[in-house]
Homo-oligomer: A and B are copies of this chain.
Amino acid sequence: MSVQNGEQVTTTPRRRNQRATKLPGRQDWSSWPHYQAAAAGFRGYWYPVGYSSQFTGKPRQITLLGEKIVVIRDRGTVYALKDRCPHRGVPLSEGNQQFPGTISCPYHGWTFDLKTGNLAAAITDGPSSPICGKVTQPTYPAEERLGMVWIFVGDGEQPHPIDEQLPEELVGNAAVVGSRIQPREGNWRFACENGYDEGHAKYLHRTALWRLLKPMPVWNETRIIQRGRWIYRVQDKQYWTADFPGLGRWDNQAWFKLRPPKEVANIGNTISHRETNPVIAAQEFPGFASVSMPGVLRIVYPTFIHYEFYVPVDAGNHLYVGVMASFQRGWRALPFYAKYLGFVRWLFHGQFSGQDKWMVEVTDAPPEKLYRPDDSLLKWRKLAEDTCEERVERLAGQGITVALPEVD
């Protein structure tokens, strides 16, 4: 209840509602047509879909790039097939195994060979069933790496070896890994752009416990450079405090935080100073953060590397796969285990990454209006666009025509 005494004055200045005015900025992503069309992901890549331990002899349905896939383990090996029986459309993942090396639909016992997808038997039509040999179920290449199952989704081409796609240092080097897999809402591109985005960390994550003791710069001068299939962010200068005209000073410092470092924190110098990790030191990492197709983020810390794989489930959902790897051997790996389980898992893969999750859920672009630090986004989109275009041309040379899906 309130008393209205008639003496109220107008306290709000008249402001003009500019609803009708179209703001400048990108109204769509049509300058990157392949990227724009990739709402459900880029085809022609391997994607992690879950821990190896999650895939057993009991078939399990996953969704990857909008496709329903049944995954089953048979005598140690993982197989993946389209999860729709061609007979009446029932998911094979609702069925089980009647014979080794096969999977049977629960409805009428149509039984498919796991390796070839061939219909090996239609049980309820007897051994002489004329349908056998006339039906083949689509299959997907599957592999296991880093304790996870990986599936290749393409357009009928021969898949490239998965080891050509994994970060180089993870192939052929002993690594201790800790990982976290979490289904998340939001398009995978927002997740990937968020991960590589130069601008957001210093502001969004200023309150993260993971950064409790470390100050963050206000803004940076950054270059993006390409080395092979990765693009790296190289910091040329970091500004730890700033005075905004008409507003005041803003920084991320506090009495309980460490002092800002005197040198710019690119990974090259930090590693060379410490030399704690021969595997990492042997690689060229010109910058702290790098990204590669089909949406893999790599953050190189002095003693370990953090990876994020943004796996497209469908246009509105993705799988966040965070992997932390240490390249120590034997008992030297023990401190990493302790650090991961007692600390990193909760602060980094938990609350810090949860802030990213929040933003990915609420991002809604295009339209968008980009600013200087978004050069990192632009370079990632260009990398994706160019790489996808090359693939389409390469497949065309093999007689496989790939049409871009329509944009909503």
Question: What is the interface of chain A, defined by CB distance below 8 A to chain B?
Answer: 1-6, 8, 10-21, 23-25, 52, 67, 76-79, 82, 84, 86-91, 94, 98-99, 102, 106-111, 115-117, 120-127, 129-131, 134-136, 138-147, 152-159, 161, 170-179, 199-200, 202-204, 218-219, 239, 242-248, 250, 325, 337, 340, 358-359, 362-365, 367-373, 400
Q: A367 CA to B369 CA in the complex, in Å? A: 44
Task: Choose one: B87, B218, B250; the contact of A371 (CB below 8 Å).
Answer: B87
Q: How far is the CA of A325 from the CA of B6 in the complex (A)?
A: 14
The reply to whether B218 and A124 contact each other, CB–CB distance below 8 Å, is yes
A218 to chain B, nearest CB (A): 6
Q: Which of B102, B107, B199 is in CB contact (< 8 Å) with A359?
A: B107
Top 10 A-B residue pairs of the complex, sorted by shortest distance between their CB atoms: A2-B147, A89-B364, A126-B219, A109-B203, A18-B138, A99-B247, A15-B139, A124-B199, A131-B371, A6-B172
Taking a contact as CB atoms closer than 8 A, the residue among B3, B88, B99 that contacts A176 in the complex is: B3
For A134, give the chain B residue with the smallest CB separation: B24
Q: Do A143 and B13 form a contact, CB below 8 Å, given A244-B121, A368-B88?
A: no
Chain B residues closer than 8 Å to A248, beta-carbon distance: 99
Find out whether the CB atom of A239 lies under 8 angstroms from the CB atom of B126. yes
Closest CB in chain B relative to A86 CB, distance in Å: 5
Pairs A–B under 8 Å by Cβ, sample size 12: A2-B146, A5-B174, A10-B161, A15-B141, A17-B139, A21-B156, A86-B368, A86-B369, A87-B371, A98-B250, A107-B359, A108-B203
Q: Are A17 and B152 in contact (CB under 8 A)?
A: yes
Residues of B within 8 A of A23 (CB): 86, 135-136
Residues on B with beta carbons closer than 8 Å to the beta carbon of A147: 1-2, 4
Q: Which of B127, B155, B171 contacts A17 (CB 8 A)?
A: B155
Q: How many angstroms between the C-alpha atoms of A340 and B140 in the bound complex?
A: 49
Complex CA gap A340/B1 in Å reads: 10
Query: What separation, in Å, do the CA atoms of A219 and B204 have in the docked complex?
Result: 64
- Indicate whether A52 sits within 8 Å of B17 (C-beta atoms), given known contacts A125-B373, A247-B121, A250-B123: no
Partner of A138, one of B17, B138, B155, B400: B17
Q: In the complex, A373→B158 CA distance in Å?
A: 37
The answer to whether A143 touches B12 (Cβ under 8 A) is yes
| B contact residues around A156 at 8 Å (CB) | 16-21
Question: From A366, which residue of chain B is reached at the shortest CB distance?
Answer: B89
Whole-angstrom distance between the alpha carbons of A87 and B374 in the complex?
10
Q: Which of B116, B159, B337 contacts A1 (CB 8 A)?
A: B337
A365 adjacent to B14 (CB under 8 Å): no
| Cβ B3 vs Cβ A174 within 8 A | yes
Contacts of A202 in B (CB 8 A): 124
Q: Is the CB of A143 within 8 A of B106?
A: no
Residues of B close to A124: CB separation below 8 A: 199-200, 202-203, 218-219, 373
**Chain B residue contacts of A371, Cβ below 8 A:** 87, 108, 110, 122, 125, 129-131
How close is A15's CB to chain B, nearest CB, in angstroms? 4
A82–chain B nearest beta-carbon distance, Å: 7
Residues of B within 8 A of A1 (CB): 147, 176-179, 337, 340
Whole-angstrom CA separation of A202 from B122 in the bound complex = 12
Closest to A84 in B: B364
Q: Determine the distance from Cα of A130 to Cα of B373 in the docked complex, in whole angstroms.
A: 11
